[in-house]
């Protein structure tokens, strides 16, 4: 729900998992591995929530020269002897939708194409770096790249593709035994090459696993194939990490195993090889033409639906006296929202102008109920546990992080409230209304309840964001939040429906 400035500060999301990096540099033609994002950049985006990404590597285009190598101009005009296909290959459609949805649920799909001096390249990426899976966040990516080779003098496109495939196979075999000296804290593993019979004019797969100190832990499978004058590269990366894991730490990370990665990329490259063969049969002896621009199909993530309720739920009404003892003369509001499998109900008591001697006080009580249900509409305790774990993990991660205008105390676990509970005090000097607040978060079955008590004292003639504003101290915030939380859970026990 969208919250007013008087509501307690909510925890920022943790950065999304780090993307995989490529194999170590080895003797090879002009080619680069997957590129890792710079860690310093990740730190900059912590509060905003990071976004992971991948950079494909590919054949060097004519506009990119190696060091000490002069650049050569290139115009992608085709000779009259090279007919151009009217319809380029649709790489994204070569993976069956059910298969893509299984491997990368709710993926953002991006299709690109380009032309270089020696190849016409078509790529498709399925990516989701934040898949909610109980107490874990999962990261999944599938990337497919298809290169069609142009003739070079007396050498046909097929011969050029064969040469490229042979070089790739040789590099893969070399990497089986090539073991670079790792830096302290780094570990890596490269599997044996696994030939894939019956796919195109040749295909193989390989597995890579990398670990770098306490920061990165990732693995992926990679498969390559050739069909006539076209080569295929497929990569699949998958991992998961607990929602309460520390930021920029590979603790609790689990990445895809060798057998699973090789199985998946072997199946994917077979799909693409069949799609390429079909396109070749429909377009014999012609060169593909790049599609203009980039095609992007983001996941359909509907915005939360919100509504204002005419009356408070029964449990909120039952603790009205407790709430108004902390917020005298309160204005009340009740809202409901649907966000995926999370049905939210919010009850608020607010007074922005309580008399306080030489100034005024601001006081607020906010209760938010999150009820989780599966697709069948049944209670979903697993999702509730995942949400609670994420909230607790966020509280732990932020306890030592102080940007200056916001500070988080260490979260404290509480007994006698639901199946699990904790509270955290936050001092907030940002936006239009400064406040100190404590939020108690409680998990009970498929329900998570967040109870916040917030406030400040504003001297006469000063704004609510003046440096002279005195925040509610931790003791008062803790006592008030726990008082409301215990009363509310008792009321819910007498009214399990909460309505």
Q: What is the pLDDT of residues 74-106, one digit of tens each?
A: 444 444 456 776 789 999 999 999 999 999 998
pTM tops 0.75, yes or no: no
**Range scoring the smallest mean pLDDT among 14-23, 68-77, 320-329, 408-417:** 14-23
Which 3 state secondary structure label does DSSP give 182? Answer: coil
Mean pLDDT of 179-201: 87
Transcribe 431-452 into DSSP letters.
Answer: SS--EEEEEEEEEETTEEEEEE
Which 3 state secondary structure label does DSSP give 76? Answer: coil
Mean pLDDT of 421-441: 94
pLDDT at residue 31 in the model: 37
In this predicted structure, the answer to whether residue 33 has a pLDDT above a threshold of 90 is no
Question: Each residue of 261-274: pLDDT tens digit?
Answer: 999 999 999 999 99
What top-level class would CATH report for the domain 305-494? alpha beta
Question: Each residue of 132-172: pLDDT tens digit?
Answer: 888 888 899 999 999 999 999 899 999 999 999 999 999 99
How many CA within 13 A on the CB side of residue 94? 29
pLDDT at residue 484 in the model: 97
- Tell the CATH topology of 77-297: Protein Transport Mog1p; Chain A (3.40.1000)
In this predicted structure, the answer to whether residue 45 has a pLDDT above a threshold of 50 is no
Nearest to 119 by CA among 80, 53, 69, 165: 165
User: Where does the pLDDT of residue 63 fall: very low under 50, low under 70, confident under 90, or very high at 90 and above?
Assistant: very low
- Among 63-67, 136-140, 292-296, which range has the highest average pLDDT? 136-140
How many CA within 13 A on the CB side of residue 209? 15
Region for residue 281 given its phi and psi (left: phi exceeds 0; alpha: psi -120 to 50; beta: otherwise): alpha
**Range scoring the smallest mean pLDDT among 47-61, 362-376, 427-441:** 47-61
Task: Map out the domains of the chain as residue ranges.
Answer: 77-297, 305-494
Domains 77-297 and 305-494 share a fold: yes
Mean pLDDT of 371-386: 89
Bridge partners for 125 per DSSP: 110, 143
32 vs 91, higher pLDDT: 91
By CB atoms closer than 10 A (0-12, 13-18, 19+), residue 241 is buried
């Amino acid at each position: 729900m969208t919250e007013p400035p008087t509501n307690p500060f909510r925890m920022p999301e943790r950065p999304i998992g780090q993307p995989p990096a490529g194999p170590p540099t080895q003797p090879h033609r002009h080619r680069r591995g997957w590129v890792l994002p710079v860690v310093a950049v990740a730190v900059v985006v912590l509060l905003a929530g990071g976004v992971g990404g991948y950079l494909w590597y590919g054949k060097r285009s004519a506009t990119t020269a190696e060091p000490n190598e002069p650049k050569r101009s290139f115009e992608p005009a085709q000779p009259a002897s090279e007919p151009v296909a009217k319809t380029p290959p649709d790489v994204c459609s070569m993976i069956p939708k059910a298969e893509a949805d299984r491997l990368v649920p709710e993926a953002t799909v991006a299709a690109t194409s380009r032309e270089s001096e020696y190849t016409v390249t078509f790529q498709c990426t399925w990516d989701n770096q934040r898949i909610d899976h109980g107490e874990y966040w999962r990261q999944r990516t599938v990337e497919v790249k298809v290169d069609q080779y142009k003739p070079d003098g007396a050498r046909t496109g097929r011969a050029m593709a064969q040469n490229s495939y042979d070089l790739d196979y040789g590099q893969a075999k070399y990497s089986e035994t090539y073991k670079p000296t790792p830096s302290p804290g780094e570990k890596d593993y490269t599997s044996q090459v696994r030939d894939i019979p019956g796919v195109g004019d040749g295909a193989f797969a390989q597995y890579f696993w990398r670990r770098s100190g306490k920061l990165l832990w990732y693995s992926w499978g990679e498969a390559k194939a050739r069909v006539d004058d076209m080569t295929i590269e497929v990569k699949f990366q998958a991992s998961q990490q607990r929602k309460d894991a520390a930021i920029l730490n590979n603790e609790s990370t689990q990445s895809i195993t060798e057998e699973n990665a090789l199985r998946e990329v072997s199946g994917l490259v077979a799909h693409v090889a069949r799609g390429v063969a079909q396109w070749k049969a429909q377009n014999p002896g012609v060169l593909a033409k790049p599609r203009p621009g980039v095609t992007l199909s983001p996941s359909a993530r509907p915005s939360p639906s919100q509504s204002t309720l005419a009356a408070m739920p029964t449990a909120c009404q039952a603790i009205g006296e407790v709430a108004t003892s902390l917020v005298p003369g309160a204005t009340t509001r009740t809202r409901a929202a649907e966000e995926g499998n999370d049905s939210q109900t919010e009850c608020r008591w607010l007074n922005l102008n309580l008399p306080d001697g030489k100034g005024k006080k601001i006081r607020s009580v906010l209760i938010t109920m999150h009820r989780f249900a599966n697709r069948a509409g049944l209670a979903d305790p697993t999702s509730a546990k995942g949400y609670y774990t994420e909230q607790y993990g966020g509280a732990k991660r932020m306890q030592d992080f102080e940007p200056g205008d916001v500070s988080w105390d260490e979260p404290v676990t509480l007994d006698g409230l639901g199946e699990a509970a904790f509270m955290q005090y936050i001092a907030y000097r940002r936006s239009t209304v400064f406040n100190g607040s404590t939020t108690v978060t409680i998990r009970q079955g498929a329900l998570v309840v967040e109870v916040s008590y917030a406030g400040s004292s504003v001297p006469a003639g000063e704004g609510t964001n003046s440096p002279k504003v005195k925040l509610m101290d931790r003791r008062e915030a803790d006592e008030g939040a726990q008082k409301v939380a215990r009363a509310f859970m008792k009321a819910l026990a007498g009214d399990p429906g909460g309505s």
